[in-house]
Structure 1
Amino acid sequence: MPTPLTHDDPVALGPYRLLARLGSGGMGTVYLARSAGGRTVALKTMHAGIAADPAARTRFRLEADAARVIGDRFGARVMDADPLAKTPWLATEYVLGPPLDEAVESGGPLPEQSVRALGAALCSALGQLHRSDVVHRDLKPSNILVTAYGPKVIDFGIARAIGDDRLTRAGAAVGTPAFMSPEQAAGQDHDAAGDVFALAGVLVYAATGRAPFGHGQAADLLYRVRYAEADLSGVPAALVPLLARCLAKEPGERPTTEQLAAGLHDGSGEFAEHLPPGLLADIGRRAAEVWRPAPPRLPAQPVEAGHDMVTSPARHGASRRRFLAAAGGALAVSAAAGGGVWWYRGRRAVPAGAEKKEPEQTRNLEPLWENNGSDLDVFGWGLLAPYHANGSIWLNLHAIAKRLDPSTGQLQEKMPFDTDWWQATAANGRLYLLDTDFTGNGRSMVIAAWDEKQNYIHPTSTRLEAASAEIMPNQLLCISGDVAYVAVGYGKAPEDKGFSDSQIWTLRAADLRTGRTLWNKPLPKRSGKSKRLHFLAAKVVGDRLVTHQEPADGKVHIVVRDTRDGTVLWDEPYDADGPDSLRSGIAADENHVYLGGARLRALRLSDGGQAWALRSGQAYSPPTLHEGVLYTVGEGAGLTAVDAARGKTLWTETTAEADRAYTGWRPIVGTRYAYYKNGLQLRAVSLSDHTTALTFRTTAEHFHTDTRAGLILGVDPGLISAYPLK
């Protein structure tokens, strides 16, 4: 629902008085506004910094033009626009209906008759565009508003004329991966047939509540869109053949919008007659909300005592690459171009002294499932990390691997892997692990992959010379692209297969395609009494390998290396509150790496210099970076959101239980909630109003995301549990 204006929002833009915010993001803000004559509009703006980019202004103008092409029957009517203003703005009708994704999420999948009517109407909308030689290129559930008179297609931020690629980077995949066409995913030309492919994906979502190629990381989705078959399970049987044709990989094999419409619906009856009662009721409720009094404007956020901030020089303008949004998804404010009532992932401040009441919902919900897995705390080396690969959750325990069904947590099968969790990782949907090289007489190891079809571990061509498989602390840190990063030891293994003073340890980068070792760097010796691994976490960012390295027990450093030759670029101590918390992962982007501990701070990725820091006298959990915002758990404060670029606190959760906030693991961030442990609860805090929406019973200490299955996996000794990720 709409949220209050902030103290620095304008009073009016053009002839429209601003009433409330509908949404905000990195690109701009969408407001609820009203004209002097009483017409309510959704007014979309662009941040001034982004508006300084001529290409951004051009896209903004083209968006308004495309919205006019589709017209007010199939889109949100354009009331007015000023793309040349200092703050460019676009005013459209305020559409009285929910976005399709929100309608399905709240009311469940639509019945077949609704899907057919929706699809036929969307065919007419796309046909209107295509006849004007315009393609949408980002058709998805959040860009479709469902009204009682038919759906309306919105957000034409990346629409373009057919054959016009002047504003598209060559070879770039622009759009939303889950609903892209194969040709769009490959960075090729996307024409009317591409919109038909996306429309079929939207209809699969409407009928089942999920996208036809699942969800997960962009790279995985792009691969499945191009090469995998669509998952049509749950789609009404009569619709499967038609939608399967639309989802053909070759554009020429797909029907036109006219052919698809004829196969979906005969056009009889009013659109509202085909909608379920719950959705019609929601549309009516939204219509009534339009004339509710606007919420009062928020005052300026007071400066918090003790929060001194050290900042780096301000950056001028906006990243062109970020604006073009290649392969990563839609524009940040895409959902709100045509109005409607939108949930807001925003950053609004909370007035000092304002009280927020937690919703009276079911408290302490049970996990979706639990599985008693023996020896989850493997030989003292730390709690395991589950992996999602080949459609399953894998628990790599010493000498055995368990494979769980993500939907039930039930054991699917056991595999005789002689591998532990830190010697395995998932990449590109496959499970990789360090394995014995049986041809090397105990003097080498190989990187192997699980072969799903042949049901066995298949060695790759990548052999690691001078590496002893019997040494337990060997680590497969991560895989980025075709390069694997591994820490391996060579020498005699003691009886416990741990460290010994005589072992030689190295960090290596190996090419999985050629099998060639790209570089090999020495690591410090470890005491035979040590029960700590060399590395707690690793992540590749551009041409940097960022690691949490433990050169000696209890002493953690953030060490950044050049991925091209392994050279250490910089090395800084990490004053974390316990090394185990750093197993939760690394928060970094192309400019900075972000650290918790005694201070929340940002270090420049280039040289390790401090860009900013918050000093508040409290401990922070390791942070999580999500869409330009850092989320961290503050000791005695709870969940806190911070602007990653500036180091400015955006909001802190309102809770009476902050003293129970757990800082030993980083928060998990979904699209609607951020999750963290508070006492014996996994708490889901709404990103829109910053209050606790749900809590789940948990005894877990570590939490991992399984985005493909839409799960949070909690791990504690002897038990793995699953919670919904939303």
Structure 2
Amino acid sequence: MDPLGTGDPLRLGPYRLLGVLGEGGMGKVYFAQDGAGRPAAVKVLRPELAHDRHLAQRFVREAQMAQAVTSKGVARVLGAQTEGGRLWIACEFLAGPTLDEAIRAYGPMDEASLRVLASALARTLQDIHVAGLIHRDLKPANIVLTSAGPRVIDFGIARPEHGLTLTTTGQIPVTPGYGAPEQVLGQRVGPPSDVFSLGAVLVYAAGGRRAFDGAHVAAVQYEVVHGTPDLSHVPPHLHPLIGPCLAKDAAARPTPALIAEAFVPPKGAERAWRQGPLASDIKTRESTVRQITVVPKSGGVSRRRLIGALAAGGGVLAAGGGGTAWWLMRGGDTGPGGTAKLGPFDIPPAVTTPEARILDPNKGEVALGIDAPELIPLWQVDGVADDSPPPKPIRDVIVVGRRGGGLAALSVVDGKERWKATGVDATGRYLSLDDQLVAAVGKNGALLTFVASTGEPKWTAPDAEARSVLAADDEAVYVVTKAGKLRSISREDAKIRWTVSSPVRLDTDIRPRGAASLGRLVLCAESGTILAVDTRDGRKAWTFESGAKVLFAPVINGDRVFFGGKNLTSRQLADGKEIWTTKPSKDAWDRPEAWSVPNVVDGAVYAMCGVFVQRVRRTDGALLWQSGSAIGDPKSPVLLQGTHAWILDVLPEVIMVSLEGGRSMLTYRPKGDVTGFNADGNRVFVMTKGGGLTALPVV
């Protein structure tokens, strides 16, 4: 939540506004409290849009739809102003995570919790239908889990069962994977459409994966209409209960009353909402709300107080009663290529990294080899493309290029495929956006994004004309176009921010890599030129010639950027001014060695210089230690996991080097040449020629 800004009202009706929960092209949602101190979520249409008759009608209609339902399973409408002045709707504020947040944070529900969820949602749908309405957008993001049970929010696209919609077919989007086949096809919908959505929600809650998936929105919608739902992660004995909800024929789906009866929870199952990590999460959010709302009635809420309360609460507040309405947060339309624009509540939080246990050689947990300990892999899989970029661990998955094309995300725990995207050109590289999304290049040059943990397609930039992705920061994703130009694509609305011709060649077969932060995009060209551009407009900020005819990626750490190559160099990110340069050592033939891509961690810079690992001080480049007997690949990255640095040997072998003095020992001999190498979560991932991927434990 953000504090109120210039132009924000202080009061609306009986509500004093305390902060901004979110905003979009059509309006804002405020966190508010009434005279008695009760919290509310107040949705406001922008004043300049109030004269748009169509939008005003939709706003009024949403208030009427929500007010018509008196079920305890929905967020109550507390008040509204739908005529004259600013149009607003005040809804009950629900302090709890949405269902999609809860599943991503704590995993799929156990059967008892699932039955509580299913039974409660079915009864709520029954109440909605008895009121003569159809919700039409039941999905995990529109279900808030509270201490009193699940609550349904957002009547932004609800409609009377026998009434006419205010929009033409196709104008109101169907959430991919949750809308019923008849909704996808633009046909008349009824209560069975909500039942289909409920079935899709229960599949996700029970297994953590969607019932219908695909590489892009059209593929997902095709699966909804023609495909078979994926129930592989749902307990088999629940298939007969959930499967009928997903029938293609609306008439074959059970009624909400039958569903509630079939899912009747066991005695005591309601305790699922009052204990465990989910209950703790809800209590934390409730406490945060109390801290924010318990203030003197005459005083406002300062930014410091808001930040302090939210930090103490440790969670994002979920606005009920349509506080995350699709049309309000998206400006009422779709993004480029017919996909939903990126919005503040659409991207799920990054999941927790499942860390592996660190092995203890003193307890016999490492096999003893002839020369040194040898590690037994945690798991090994096949099917990786030989031209795949290095594996990219992103919290609970590791992303690689698939043999046969596209991307695959494998579980870091056991290597099993979690999701795949067939419409991706993996050779164009892939990026992690805050560990929440994977950004990649589509086969047609579009920039595509997927939820990292689930593969759910998110926003798309179809006009990117991208050949490869370079880097990303908080504002944009930067790509090299097929014509060899630099292009910036906004992460807020997927629109092209700017396109510029580069002073260095970017259209060669060797794909450049970059890094972006603090207003600068830095890349190393094949010629050895280092180029930095201003991320606001793409204009050249600074450049210098490294003298290295090899492609090494820049590494940004704070306000500095580090390079390997001919020398190990640290420069100011803003203007490229040199801070220090460490010249290389010489080999047995008195030739200078090259430096590998550096890794900056905890005030030190690690890099290969020739065949040895060196650790230098970040501030001045002074040598702290050099590895002893390691014979590493001069181009190997230096990865830090546990108490060791991990590098590749030219043989090939994986070597770990102690961070306590640089002592090294051989740990693993892969079968085949190593083509990619990465590490995270106490695991080291080794990709080999022929399509193998191995996860090694950390000692």
Give the TM-score band, short-chain normalised: 0.5 to 0.7
Structure 1 pair 237–292 and aligned structure 2 pair: CA distance change class (3 A): same
The offset of 1:177, in angstroms, is: 0.4
Q: Which residue of 2 aligns with 1:20?
A: 19
Per the alignment, residue 176 of structure 1 pairs with 175
Counterpart residue number, 1:194: 193
| Structure 2 contact 685–694 (Cα < 8 Å) conserved | yes
The whole-number CA distance in structure 2 between the counterparts of 1:293 and 1:182 is 43
Residue ranges of structure 1 left out of the alignment (5+ in a row): 300-317, 336-341, 346-359, 387-391, 414-425, 434-475, 482-533, 539-545, 551-555, 560-569, 586-593, 603-611, 620-631, 640-656, 664-676, 682-694, 704-712
The 5 Å alignment of 1:319-330 reads 323-325=332-334, 328-329=339-340
- Give the corresponding residue for 1:574: 502
Change (3 A) 1:90 1:634: farther
SS in 1 for 2:177: helix
Deviation at 1:85, TM superposition (A): 5.7
User: Distance in 2 between the 1:370 and 1:637 partners?
Assistant: 39
The 2-side partners of 1:658 and 1:90 are apart by 53
**1:548 aligns to 2:481 (yes or no):** yes
Matches within 5 A, 1:147-226: 147-171=146-170, 174-214=173-213, 216-226=215-225
What code does the residue aligned with 1:573 have?
Answer: S
The separation in 1 between residues aligned to 2:158 and 2:224, in whole angstroms, is 20
What is the 5 A alignment of 1:669-680? Answer: 679=599
Does the 8 Å contact 1:63/1:156 carry over to 2? yes
The amino acid across from 2:333 in the alignment is L
Distance 1:96 1:241 in 2: 34
Q: Which residue of the partner structure matches residue 463 of structure 1?
A: none
Task: Say whether the 8 Å CA contact 2:24–2:328 is kept in structure 1.
Answer: no
Deviations 1:128-186 (A, max 9, x none): 11122211111111111122323211011111122545433324572210312122222
Give me the whole-angstrom Cα distance separating, in 2, the residues matched to 1:714 and 1:678: 19
- Identity, in percent, stands at 30
After the TM superposition, which residues 84-103 of structure 1 pair with which residues of structure 2 at under 5 Å, given as runs?
Answer: 84=83, 87-103=86-102
Aligned to 1:175, what secondary structure does the other structure show?
A: coil
Map of 1:42 onto structure 2: 41
* Aligned partners of 2:522 and 2:532 also within 8 Å: no
Q: Distance in 1 between matches of 2:254 and 2:159?
A: 21
**Aligned pair partner of 1:406 in 405, 410, 431:** 410
CA displacement at 1:375 relative to structure 2: 12
Residue in structure 1 matched with residue 107 of structure 2 by the alignment? 108
Residues 583-602 of structure 1 mapped to structure 2, 5 A cutoff: 598-600=532-534
Contact 2:203 2:231 survives alignment (8 Å):
yes
- Aligned partner letter, 2:410: P
- Which protein has greater RCO, CA pairs closer than 8 Å, 6+ apart? 1
Task: Single out whichever of 121-130 and 219-228 deviates more from structure 2.
Answer: 219-228
Distance 1:62 1:268, change over 3 A: farther
**What do residues 281-333 of structure 1 show as CA deviations (whole Å, max 9, x unaligned)?**
3322322222214762389xxxxxxxxxxxxxxxxxx9999513486359947
Structure 1 counterpart of 2:302, from 286, 293, 296? 296
Distance 1:412 1:127 in 2: 39
Distance change (3 Å), C-alpha of 1:201 and 1:638: farther
* CA deviation after TM superposition for structure 1 residue 558, in Å: 6.8
Q: Deviations over 1:522-555 (max 9, x none)?
A: xxxxxxxxxxxx99459xxxxxxx98245xxxxx
Provide the residue aligned with 2:10 in structure 1: 11
Task: Determine the C-alpha separation between the residues in 2 that align with 1:364 and 1:576.
Answer: 43
Cα–Cα, structure 1 residues 402 and 223, in superposed 2: closer, same or farther, change >3 Å?
closer
- Rounded to whole Å, the distance in 2 between the matches of 1:166 and 1:558 is 44
Alpha-carbon distance between aligned partners in 1 of 2:240 and 2:555, rounded to the nearest angstrom? 49
Deviates more, 1:140-149 or 1:161-170: 161-170
CA RMSD of superposed structures (Å) = 5.8
**TM alignment of 1:182-331, pairs within 5 A:** 182-214=181-213, 216-265=215-264, 271-272=270-271, 276-293=275-292, 296-297=302-303, 323-325=332-334, 328-329=339-340
1:277 deviates by 3.1
DSSP-derived class of the 2:443 partner: strand
TM-score by length of 2: 0.53
Deviation at 1:265, TM superposition (A): 0.8
Bigger mean CA deviation after superposition, 16-25 or 571-580:
571-580
Closer, same or farther in 2 for the Cα pair 1:236/1:696, shift >3 Å? farther
Q: Distance in 2 between matches of 1:145 and 1:114?
A: 14
Q: What residue is the counterpart of 1:32 in the other structure?
A: 31
| Aligned residue type for 1:181 | A
The match for 2:658 is: none
C-alpha deviation, 1:48, in angstroms: 4.3
Question: Do 1:16 and 1:36's aligned partners in 2 also have CA atoms closer than 8 Å?
Answer: yes
Task: Give TM-score scaled by structure 1 length.
Answer: 0.51
Aligned position for 1:67: 66
For residues 638 and 28 of structure 1, the distance between their equivalents in structure 2, rounded to whole angstroms, comes to 39
CA contact (8 A) 2:389 2:401 kept: no
Residue 72 of structure 2: SS of its match in structure 1? helix
Cα 1:38–1:374 change in 2 (3 A) is: closer
Change (3 A) 1:680 1:189: farther
Give me the whole-angstrom Cα distance separating, in 1, the residues matched to 2:303 and 2:144. Answer: 28
8 Å CA contact 2:138, 2:197 repeated in 1 = yes
Q: State the alpha-carbon separation in 2 of the partners of residues 105 and 477 from structure 1.
A: 26
Shift in alpha-carbon separation, 1:218–1:615, aligned structure 2, 3 A? same
Determine if contact 1:163/1:189 at 8 Å carries over to the other structure.
no
CA-CA distance at 1:58 after TM superposition: 1.9
| Partners of 1:201 and 1:211 within 8 A in 2 | yes
